[in-house]
Amino acid sequence: MISPIFNAAGAITHYLAVKEDITERKQLEEQLRQSQKMEAFGQLAGGIAHDFNNLLTIIQGNVALFQEPLNPDQAGCLVEISKATERAANLTRQLLTFSRRQIFQPKPLDL
């Protein structure tokens, strides 16, 4: 901000300049924007993970129904499908953990 300084006759004799360093404020604003982006990404990841997990549950349930396949090729396919759905389920758990901003700490549970 620059303001003129006048003398008794009304003429400008000096200027007064006031400066403010806004670097820290700009950095904080950028951190806030990044935080908001990450929050939105977390919500999106959580929604996708839930929907994907529902699909995986259907696939895993149908694979479990075929316990006695008709031929060895089908048995191999079912094993591969089962492995793939388990890997996908692990990925889904990681996404849900990220979206909840929690540290993933699996614990044994006696049912």
Question: What CATH number corresponds to the domain at position 83?
Answer: 1.10.287
Counting the structural domains of the chain, the total is 1
Asked if the structure places residue 111 within a domain, the reply is no
Residue 10 has pLDDT above 80, yes or no: yes
Residue 87 has pLDDT above 80, yes or no: yes
Quote the pTM value. Answer: 0.51
Q: What is the domain range of residue 23?
A: 18-99
Question: Hey, what amino acid is at 45?
Answer: A
Instruction: Name the band, by pLDDT with cuts 50, 70 and 90, for residue 5.
Output: very high
What pLDDT is attached to residue 6? 94
In the numeric block, the tokens 């499908």 are attached to: 81
What pLDDT is attached to residue 81? 84
Over residues 36-63, the pLDDT tens digits come to 888 888 888 888 888 888 888 888 887 7
Asked if the structure places residue 93 within a domain, the reply is yes
- From residue 97, how far is each of 68, 86, 93 by CA, in Å? 36, 17, 6
Asked if the structure places residue 48 within a domain, the reply is yes
